[in-house]
Structure 1
Amino acid sequence: MSRVPPRRRAQSRTKTGAVSPPQETGTDISMALIKSARKSGQLALQNRGFTELPSVVCNLNNLSEQEVKSIDVTLDRASQDDWWTQMPLSKLFLGSNRLTTLPPEIAQLEHLTILELQDNNISKLPQQMESLSNLIRLNLSHNKMTELPDCLCHLKDLRVLALHHNEIKSVSDNINSLLSLDDLDLSHNKLKELPDAFTFLSRTKKINLANNCLEALPADMDSMIQLVLLDLSNNCLTKLPEAIGRCGHLEQLVARHNRLETLPPFSRENHLKELSVSFNAIKEFNVGHCEALVMLKILDLRSNKLASLPEEIANLQSLERLDIGNNELKILPNSLGALNHINSLLVEGNPLRSIRQDILRRGTVYLMKYLRDRLKESPMQQKIRKSRGGDGQELVDSVDRFTLKSSKTLDFSNKALSTLDEKVIDMACEDKINQLVLTRNIFVTVPDTLERLAQQLTELDFSFNKLTSIPPFLSQAKHLQYMNLQSNQLSDLPPELSCLENIRELNISQNRFSKIPDCVYGWKRFEILLASDNSLTSIDVENLAKIETLATLDLRNNSISQVPPELGNLIQIKSLQLDGNLFRNPRPAILAKSTQDILAYLRDRIPS
């Protein structure tokens, strides 16, 4: 165990020549605190209002004249305060004072391992700091440093260096001398660049460079072979060096709020578990990324410019959280359903067309179930799809009857069907299915065979076909609650459908409607009308007012030339979307506000 060396400290003398007790402790440092520090090796002086460091602190390891004389006393009079029971100062806590610098005498505290100086006014450090060769942790956060000084680069045993929340604009080229540095925090400074020597921090595991002004990084980032966490958030980066993808131990890469347009390629030997690059301008997450980043648990791509995701995203089998909200995705790959560990899938803010809004609103569990139900078909199902349906018996044989009976859902999506054989209808009637999904086929007309099934249907999905009309016999579907006719060639619905009083949601987006079909105005439980991307020219407020349950009205991307102010009286509407039309008022700034604000704006313009 180290003991305080018996070095003599000069003492002041009175006029009579007697040695006076130490006076440099100051009024804020009691002798009891000094004695305690010498016993424990720790001194806590936080929040004392110091503007400079009392000299007694730097001399704490030096013995007074009286203490030197005590060496000659007999051991029979051993005291708890004897010099040989004292410890050298190893931990000094000076946070939350008003220090502007440290005295050169700080070098006398050569046994220091921890020095806490956070929340002061320090702008410079004495060169003598380089003598603190045993320092392991140094906290200079929340000060006024303008550079990472060269004297710190001589601290070869330093493991943790906290310099966040300063005004640092430059880093010494000798930073590569910090051979033992494990954790470096330079966040919330004013760095625009880093020296090439920065990449020689080969033992550093955690680096935080968030909230600076960095426009580029050194090219040889793969020299940082022990790097585990790298935070680059809130900078001005337009790209990441390819070498980052070769940092073999990197587990967390965070680069939110930059100007990135691409992601670097990643080696297949990477260990990345978190990739957070939200709020950038990234246009592609490609097959190569899906094949390399197989250990990812968190993938945050929110608020970028992604237009698609590859089916190979199913390779990310460790993924637990996927955020792809606020991008430009129109479809989601069904292969997402194969990610068995996902507990959070965020997709809101995308112009998704292939998934019903009620499924999206239900959250991750229901969305994942929807995607799993639409995974790639079995070899038999693929054969049927390629043969454009084959005969009815082949379709029947392709169905898992046990699943059919339990789910009550008959899904023949993406099979190039144009008709439904009687054998299929027989099976559906026998198993009492009530949900029929025929999306992404080539139906031109609704098959007449479907009439037998109409009375038991609650959900009907004919989206993404080539329908030009809907037959009146669907008026027999008295229990129908959901009907999806998105992306067909329809221009109207038969008036006979007005008797379908149980319908809650109708999707007629991406068709050829010039007006909202009259039949919907008689639906008593109608809640959601999705009619974007048509040729609607007007809004019939008088008839819409009859639908007291209407909560969602999507009229985006039509040819509406005027928005009646009376629409503001339909306060039952909770979600109103009108952008992408011909009218000039309300202005886009108004349309960007909440539905309640839009309705209030319209009400204010109703003539008195």
Structure 2
Amino acid sequence: MSRLQGVARRDPRAGFRAERTDGNTSIPQGLLKAARKSGQLNLSGRNLSEVPQCVWRINVDVPEEANQNLSFSAADRWWEQTDLTKLVLSNNHLRSLSDDLRLLPALTVLDIHDNQLTSLPAAISELENLQKLNVSHNKLKMLPEEITNLRNLKGLYVQHNELMCLPEGFEQLSSLEDLDLSNNRLAAVPGSFSSLPSLMRLNLSSNQLQSLPAEISRMKKLKHLDCNSNVLETIPPELASMESLELLYLRRNKLRFLPEFPSCKLLKELHVGENQIEMLAAEHLKHLSSILVLDLRDNKLKSVPDEIALLQSLERLDLSNNDISSLPCSLGNLHLKFLALEGNPLRTIRREIINKGTQEVLKYLRSKIKDDGPRQSDCVPETTAMTLPSESRVNVHAIVTLKLLDFSDKQTALIPDEVFNAVKNNVITSVNFSKNQLHEIPKRIVELKEMVSDVNLSFNKLSFVSLELCMLQKLTFLDLRNNFLNSLPEEMKSLVRLQSINLSFNRFKVLPEVLYHIPTLSTILISNNQVGALDPQQMKMMENLTTLDLQNNDLLQVPPELGNCVSLRTLLLDGNPFRVPRAAVLAKGTAAVLEYLRDRIPT
């Protein structure tokens, strides 16, 4: 009985009450009984117009079965109940919440999305343990100042409301990691709000923002910034100093100039489509060494610079609906999976080639490099007095200008020594030996260990990874897709800068153990293998992992604990034989899948 007395001291209204309170009839007693054991209560979609008192007082009042002279087994000792930590009230008709909310001080999760709330009670400040608050899809015009007292709050979701401003002191939410303010009526973001020290994901899309505060650069941990569908005309230059930024969405604004990103070395996706950008210059590209997706569609671009070939990691490039009349041949040296060109007045490439898709366009551009010789600035030079005869097969221009050692698509089983000899004293950051017949990684690749950051060995016949590759100290991007690999060596743990690895179309039956021990990894692509298992506990420790592609494998089940991998922004699971989550859940996207899995973690 000491537990009840302790609660009674916190709440003078607590005590034994035999009568039924209004609203009890709408909540099954079995559900309340289960909630006292698990600490979780889900009342989603029950057509509630108000929250019954029995919910607020679930840890205060004596349960009804205690008044029925029953003998209790060890499993039914109601006085040993668990404090409620998770309360889901979503998809109801709630117009307000009672101050009795304070009777649930142990709550860590409060989900009240999709209701008709116009305000939140001041008593919310007493939920000192709250870590996740979802009030999206309501009718909130403001947030109470008391919300700034929630110092343990990590996730705040207020999208699809009617907010016009944020409360003073918002920056006091020092633990906040994920903040969604999209689809509101915000016209400005206060500079002080930009001082949130732990924020990693910020969604400001579909508001009425005309500018961003320069102080936004203080968000040293911010990885994901979404400002789509606003009325931004410029971006503060300070944004370029955000070293941790990985995903930047600026679509559907009024930008006329593309910002430069000299410090954003980790930027993987840049979406600036549907603006009014007129120029793409070398300065815009030279710092985007990690970029995977570049969306420039529906702008006013007239040309693409030769330096586009510097983006050796680029996989998706959208140039559709611009004013581009020609493309640089150097574009053919990229390893693009997707290139969109429709809606441009292109005159140098026949429409029939464009209609055949990305790979045919790239192949055509590469052929022009070879055919046109020195007439184009990005073509391979002929043998001259300054070029050794043995180097005539090596793209020396790529070595000198692009810092790229390219000997791809030669269908050779060995990389000749002349290729490595051609490097001489030049700095090489990228190696492309794809589309050959290599059975092992060239041993001389170790000569580049102190400078190369990007290695492409895809479309070969590799059945193992040699230790020479594990010695590349600066390796950041590794492409090993379309080989015969079924394991990776433990020595790959020494690749302390590796961010992205592509293992698609190999023969892996499990996710390689060594990947769990490379903390810098942010992207793992391992689709089209035979992976039947993965370890969600180890994966949860991979705090930088944002993209995991497991499509077309042999997963018979998806472990619910995978839902705890909250850093994931892209999780692809299609084409596996598991039954749950069903396709309808997968179609809702990564966030919905992770939430679905979390809700099924055994308690």
TM-score (norm 2): 0.59
For residue 244 of structure 1, report the CA deviation from its aligned partner. 1.5
Query: Is 1:130–1:155's contact at 8 Å kept on the other side of the alignment?
Result: yes
Q: 2:241 — aligned with what?
A: 246
* Contact map agreement 1:260 1:281 (CA 8 A) in 2: yes
Aligned match of 1:361:
355
| Cα shift at 1:310 | 1.1
How many residues are treated as equivalent by the alignment?
A: 384
Shift of residue 84, structure 1, vs aligned partner: 4.0
Q: Which residue of 1 aligns with 2:154?
A: 159
Change (3 A) 1:22 1:274: same
Out of 24, 27, 34, the position equivalent to 1:26 is 24
User: Among 353, 357, 369, which residue is 1:375 paired with?
Assistant: 369
CA distance in 2, matches of 1:117, 1:298: 35
Gaps in structure 1 of 5+ consecutive residues:
14-18, 391-397, 401-405, 407-608
Shift of 1:35: 1.5
**Matching residue of 1:526:** none
Give the whole-Å Cα distance in 2 for the aligned partners of 1:147 and 1:135.
19
1:207 aligns with 2:218: no
Distance 2:146 2:38 in 1: 28
Q: Decide which moves more: 144-153 or 369-378.
A: 369-378
> Does the CA contact (< 8 Å) of 1:4 and 1:83 recur in 2?
no
- In structure 2, do the counterparts of structure 1 residues 89 and 245 end up closer, same or farther at CA, with 3 Å as the change threshold? same
- Residue number in structure 1 paired with 2:451: none
The answer to whether the Cα contact below 8 Å between 2:296 and 2:318 also exists between their aligned partners in 1 is yes
Give the deviation of 1:140 after TM superposition.
Answer: 0.3
For the residues of structure 2 that align with 1:296 and 1:136, how far apart are their CA atoms?
A: 33
Q: CA deviation at 1:367?
A: 0.5
The DSSP-based 3-state class of the residue aligned with 2:359 is helix
CA distance 1:386–1:94, shift in 2 (3 Å): closer
Alpha-carbon contact 1:140-1:163 (below 8 Å) kept: yes
Q: Is the 8 A contact 1:6 1:63 kept in 2?
A: no
| Secondary structure, aligned partner of 2:285 | helix
Partner of 1:161, secondary structure, is strand
Tell me whether 1:92 sits opposite 2:87 in the alignment: yes
Residues of 2 paired with 1:147 and 1:94: CA distance?
20
- Corresponding residue number in structure 1 for 2:59: 61
| Alignment-derived partner of residue 7 in structure 2 | 7
Shift of 1:309: 1.4
Give 2:34's aligned residue. 36
SS of residue in 1 equivalent to 2:110? strand
**Cα 1:41–1:26 shift into 2, 3 Å:** same
Separation in 1 of the partners of 2:61 and 2:15?
A: 14
Structure 1 residues 22 and 297: CA distance shift in structure 2, 3 A: same
> Any conservation in 1 of the 2:137–2:161 contact (CA below 8 Å)?
yes
Contact 2:14–2:61 (CA<8 Å) still a contact in 1? no
How far apart, in 2, do the equivalents of 1:94 and 1:190 lie? Answer: 25
Task: Verify the 8 A CA contact 1:6 1:68 in the aligned structure 2.
Answer: no
Amino acid at match of 1:363: G
Q: Report which of the two structures shows the higher radius of gyration computed on alpha carbons.
A: 1
Distance across 1 between alignment mates of 2:370 and 2:214: 42
Match of 2:479 in 1: none
- Partner Cα distance (1:116, 1:135) in 2: 11
Question: Matches of 2:376 and 2:104 in 1, distance apart?
Answer: 77
RMSD (Å) for aligned C-alpha atoms? 3.5
Which residue identity lines up with residue 148 of structure 1 in the other structure?
L
Paired residue secondary structure (1:36): helix
Structure 1 distance, partners of 2:109, 2:202, is: 20
Identical-residue share of aligned pairs (%): 39
C-alpha distance in 1, partners of 2:355/2:63? 79
Change (3 A) 1:237 1:387: closer
Q: Which residue of 2 aligns with 1:234?
A: 229
Picking from 172, 175, 178, the partner of 1:180 is 175
2:342 aligned with 1:348: yes
- Return the alpha-carbon distance in structure 2 between the equivalents of residues 217 and 158 of structure 1: 24
1:382 shift after superposition: 8.2
Q: Which residue of 2 aligns with 1:436?
A: none
Cα distance in 2, alignment partners of residues 214 and 128 from structure 1: 31
Instruction: Give the counterpart letter for 2:62 in structure 1.
Output: S
Kindly provide the amino acid, as one letter, of the partner of residue 352 in structure 1: L
CA contact (8 A) 1:336 1:368 kept: yes
**CA deviation vs aligned residue, 1:214-268 (integer Å, no higher than 9, x gap):** 1111112110111111111111111111111111111110111111101222114
> Are the structure 2 counterparts of residues 379 and 386 from structure 1 closer, same or farther at C-alpha, using a change threshold of 3 Å?
closer
Do structure 1's residue 261 and structure 2's residue 256 form an aligned pair?
Answer: yes
Distance 1:289 1:183, change over 3 A: same
TM-score (norm 1): 0.58
